[in-house]
Amino acid sequence: MVGESMKRYELPPLPYSYNALEPYIIEEIMRLHHTRHHQAYVNGANAALEKIERHMKGEMQIDIRAVLRDFSFNYGGHIMHTIFWPNMAPPGKGGGKPGGVTADLINKTFGSFEKFKDLFSAAAKNVEGVGWAVLALDPLTEELRIYQVEKHNLLITSGAIPVLVLDVWEHAYYLQYKNDRGSYVDNWWNVVNWDDVERRVRSAQNHGKASLSL
Q: Provide the CATH number for the domain around residue 49.
A: 1.10.287.990
For residue 63, the SS3 value is coil
Does residue 145 lie in a domain region? yes
Q: Is residue 117 part of a domain?
A: yes
pLDDT bucket at 214, cuts 50 / 70 / 90:
very low
71 plus 122 within the same structural domain: no
Is 124 inside any structural domain? yes
pLDDT in tens, 75-104: 999 999 999 999 999 999 999 999 999 999
- Residue 5 falls within a domain, yes or no? no
Phi/psi for 113 (5° steps) reads -65, -40
157 pLDDT higher than 90: no
- How many C-beta neighbours within 10 Å does residue 179 have? 9
Contact 121, 184 (CB under 8 A): no
What number is the average pLDDT over the span 145-168?
84
The pLDDT assigned to 25 comes to 98
Question: Model pTM?
Answer: 0.92
Nearest in space to 88 (alpha carbons), one of 23, 15, 137, 26? 15
**Domain boundary residue, one of 84, 109, 126:** 84
Taking the C-alpha atoms of residue 109 and residue 118, their distance in angstroms, rounded to an integer, is: 14
Residue 145 belongs to domain spanning:
100-205
Please count the residues of the chain.
214
Pairwise pLDDT comparison (155 vs 84), residue with the higher score? 84
Structural domain total, the chain:
2
Higher per-residue pLDDT: 1 or 75: 75
Pair 70, 112 in one domain: no
Question: Mean per-residue pLDDT for 122-140?
Answer: 93
Q: Output 129 or 105, whichever has higher pLDDT.
A: 105
